[in-house]
Amino acid sequence: MDVKPGMKIAIFLVWLLMVPSGLWYTYNTYPPNISGQWIDLLAFLLLTSIVASMPIVINNMFIFLIQWVALATFLRFGLFVEIIFAQIAVVVLLLKLRILRKAELFRLPLNLNMFFLVSFISGILYYALGGQTGPSLANDTRSLWLAVLYVIVYYLLNQIIISCNLYFIYRVKESYFGKDLFVETITTLITMPIGLVLYILYNQVGLLALLFVGIPFVSLSIVFNLYYSSEKINEYLQKAAEIGHQLAEQLHVNAVLDLFIQKLSEMLPVDYAYILEAKGDDLTLIRRIESGTVMPNEILSLKRNEGISGKVWSEQMAFLFSSRKEWQQFDTNTIPKDVESILGVPIVRSNKLIGVLLLASKKKRAYEKSQLMIIDILCSHFAVAIENANNFEQTKRQSERCALTGLYNYRYFENLLTEEFEKLTRFHRQMLSLVILDIDHFKQINDRYGHQSGNEILRELADRLRKLVGDRGTVARYGGEEFVVLLPDLSKEEAYQMAEQIRQMISNWPFTLQQTMDLDKPQQKVMITASIGIATAPEDAEDSLALIRHADRALYVGAKRAGRNRVAEYSSC
C-alpha cells in the first residue's frame, strides 16, 4: 500500500508536535510514581522489551501482545511511564520486524502516534473518573472496574485509530471488521486478566511476579513462534515440491528458466535474479531479470572466485548476505548499486556444478537461512528440469533436421506447411509462396567425383540457401538433391525474384570439392545449375498438397523440360 510523500511528512510533523508536548503535559499533570523504584522500573522495561520483541504469529499476522505489561505498568507507575514504555516497545517491535527501511520509515512515527493517543486518552479518562496510581485491586472493587474500563477504552481507541489510518493514510476502502479485529479482540480478552494478575501479584511478592507471569508467557510466545516457523518451512517445502513438478512438465529450456524465476519471485522478495551456466572455466550468464523484466545478458563471463557467483562456484556452497557491507568485498562491479541482501546457491546435477543462481533484494535481511535450504532444493529440481529440457530439444532438433545439411527435413517442412496454410485460411497470412529447386544432372556429379563430393555440394548449397533466404522464409531439404523454400506473405513476383537470385547464386559461383576420386587433384571447383519451380497460394492452390504439387509441376514441366537452369512459375493453362 503506497503512501503519498506529503502524508509521510505530515506523520513525522504530527509526532514532533504531539508526543513531546504530550509527555511534558502528562509528567506535570500526572507525575510518575517511581520514587526509589528504579530497579523495579528497569525490570518492567526489560519485560516490556522482551515481550515486544517476541510477537506471536498467527496465519501470517503479527500479534503485538504488549497490552498486559502496559496495563500493569500503568497501574503501578502511572501514565507517563506507560507512554514512555509503549514508545520504546514500538521501536523494539519494528526493529524486530525489520521494516525500518527508508521507504517505510514513516511507519515508526505513525505507530508511535497511535500508541501515544491510545495511552494518553485512556489514561486521562481513567484519572478523570477517579482512578489512582497504585490502586489496591484485590480490596477495592471500584478500582478494579476502573482498570477494566481503562482496558476497554484502550482497545476501542486502538481499533478506531487503526481504521482511520487504513482509510485516510493507506486509502484502504475495505471494512476493518474482519479476521484482524477478531484476533485483536480475543488477544485483548486473554491478556487483560494476565495484566491484572501481574499487578496484583507484584504488590504481594515484588519482582518475583515478573518471573512468575513473564516466564510462562514468554515461553508460550517461543512455542508459538517455533510452531509458526515449522509451519512456514512445511509450506515452503510443499511449494518446492509443486514447483518441482511444474518444472518437470516443461519441455523447453526457456520455459524452465522463465517458470523458475517466476516462482522464486512469488516466494521471496526478489528484485534481481541471475542464472549463470558453468562452461569450462567460465560462468556464462544465461538469464538476467531486473525488477521483473528480462534484460540482455551484457555481463561478461566470470572465472572461479571472481565475484559472488565465482565464489559460490569455487567453494560449491551457498552464501547468504544480509547487507551490502557483508558482500561488497567480493563484488566485481556486476551487482546493482541498490542491492542489499544476496542469496547465492550452486546448481548441482550428479555431484557436478552446472550453474549458479543469484537472487538479490534492495531490502536488508530480506532472506532467512530456512529459505536458503528451500532454494537449494528448488535448484536440484531446476537442474533436473534443465537437463530434461536440453535432452528434449536436442532430440527434437535431430528429428527435425537433415543430418547431412543441417536444414529442416521433409517431416518438419510438411508440418510447417500445414500450419502456414491454416494461418492462410484464417486470414492471418495474405499469401504463401513455395519454391522447389532440383540440382541439374546431380547423378553425373556423383558418378564423376564420388558421393562424398556430392554430399559436399549439398552441404555448401544448404549454407548458401540459408544465408540468402535469411529470416524471410524457411529452407528445408525435400529429398535427394531437392530443396524447398517456404516464403510467407511473399507474392509470386517476389518469390520469382528470390528464386532467380537463388538460381544465379548456384550457377555463377563454383562449388569447392575437398574430397574427390581424383587423387592428383584433391581440391576442385565445380560449376552446377539448378531448375526451380514456383507456386503461390491462394491463387495457385487451395490446400497444402496442391501447392506442393503445382510447384513441383512448374519445376519439371516449366524448367526441366524447357532446358534446365531456369525458374518457372506454375500456370493452370
Cα gap 394→413, rounded to integer Å? 18
Question: Does the residue 513 lie in any domain?
Answer: yes
Do 331 and 449 belong together in one domain? no
* 8-state DSSP, 33: -
CATH number of domain containing 39: 1.10.1760
Instruction: Give the pLDDT score at 298.
Output: 67
State residue 299's pLDDT score.
64
pLDDT at residue number 442: 93
Give the mean pLDDT of 113-139.
Answer: 91
Nearest to 79 by CA among 13, 36, 24, 37: 24
Distance of CA 99 to the CA centre of its chain: 21
Q: What pLDDT sits at residue 535?
A: 95
pLDDT band with cut points at 50, 70 and 90 for residue 177: low
Percent of the chain with pLDDT over 70: 93
C-alpha to C-alpha distance for 230 and 538, rounded to whole angstroms: 65
pLDDT at 99 over 80: no
Confidence of residue 122 (pLDDT cuts 50, 70, 90): very high
Give residue 519's pLDDT.
Answer: 57
Give the CA diameter of the chain: 124
**Residue 101 and residue 147: Cα distance in Å, rounded?**
37
The verdict on 385 and 422 lying in the same domain is no
300 and 376 inside one domain: yes
Per-residue model confidence as pLDDT tens digits over 447-460: 888 888 899 999 99
Are 27 and 136 contained in the same domain? yes
Q: Are residues 287 and 349 in the same domain?
A: yes
Round to whole Å and give the CA distance between 72 and 238: 43
518: helix, coil or strand?
Answer: coil
- Name the nearest CA neighbour of 245 among 380, 350, 381: 381
DSSP H or E segment with residue 231: helix 208-249
Size (the chain), residues: 573
* β strands within 401-452, DSSP E: 432-439
**Residue 165 reports pLDDT greater than 80:** no
Could you list the beta-strand ranges (E) of 228-309: 272-279, 282-290, 293-294
Residues whose CB falls within 8 Å of the CB of residue 96, separated by 6 or more in sequence, listed in order: 52, 53, 54, 55
Residue of 48 and 172 predicted with greater confidence: 48
Q: Is the pLDDT of residue 57 over 80?
A: no
**Amino acid at the residue 301:** S
* pLDDT confidence of residue 493: 94
For residues 421 and 175, the model is more confident at 421
Within this chain, do residues 63 and 134 fall inside the same structural domain, yes or no? yes
Domain shared by 156 and 294, yes or no: no
CA distance 529 to 534: 17
Domain boundary among 336, 358, 392: 392
Residue 237 lies in a domain: no
53 assigned to some structural domain: yes
CATH number of 525's domain: 3.30.70.270
Residues 41 and 178 in one domain: yes
pLDDT digits (tens, 9 = 90+) for 305-314: 788 888 888 8
Q: In which domain, by residue range, is 75 found?
A: 5-228
The mean pLDDT of 365-369, rounded to a whole number, is 84
pLDDT at 504 over 90: yes
Reply yes or no on whether the pLDDT at 517 is more than 80. Answer: no
What are the pLDDT digits (tens) for 184-215? 777 778 788 888 899 999 988 988 988 888 88
Residue 538 lies in a domain: yes
Instruction: Assess if residue 235 is contained within a domain.
Output: no
**The pTM of the whole model exceeds 0.85:** no
Which range among 295-304, 444-453, 533-542 shows the weakest confidence by mean pLDDT?
Answer: 295-304
Q: Over the chain, what is the mean pLDDT?
A: 87
Residue 526 has pLDDT above 60, yes or no: yes
Among the ranges given (41-55, 202-216, 224-238), the one the predictor scored with the smallest mean pLDDT = 224-238
The pLDDT of residue 573 is 62
Please indicate, yes or no, whether residues 168 and 34 belong to a single structural domain of this protein. yes
Answer yes or no: do 502 and 560 share one domain: yes
Name the residue among 493, 502, 486, 499 with its Cα closest to residue 434: 486
Grid cell at residue 438? 532440383
Produce one character per residue of 47-85: b if its CB has 16 or more CB atoms within 10 Å, e if not.
bbbebbebbbbeeeeebbbbbbbbbbbbbbbbbbbbbbb
- Separation of alpha carbons 571 and 517, rounded Å: 43
- DSSP assignment, residue 365? T
Where would I find the H helices in 137-207? 141-164, 179-205
Cell of 508: 555463377
Distance separating the N- and C-terminal Cα atoms of the chain? 73
Res 102: pLDDT? 65
Asked whether residue 262 falls in the same domain as residue 223, the answer is no
Per-residue pLDDT tens over the stretch 468-503:
999 999 999 998 899 999 999 999 999 999 999 999
Q: What is the pLDDT of residues 333-342, one digit of tens each?
A: 788 888 889 9
Both 461 and 542 in one domain: the answer is yes
Whether residue 245 is contained in a domain is answered as: no
More confident residue, 415 or 94: 415
Range 141-162 average pLDDT: 88
Tell me, what CATH number does 259's domain have? 3.30.450.40
Residue 384 lies in a domain: yes
3-state helix, strand, coil in the chain (%, to 5): 60, 15, 25
pLDDT greater than 60 at residue 1:
no
The total number of structural domains in the chain stands at 3
Q: Which three cell numbers stand for residue 66?
A: 504488549
| Domain stops at, among 160, 195, 228 | 228
Note whether residue 243 is domain-resident: no
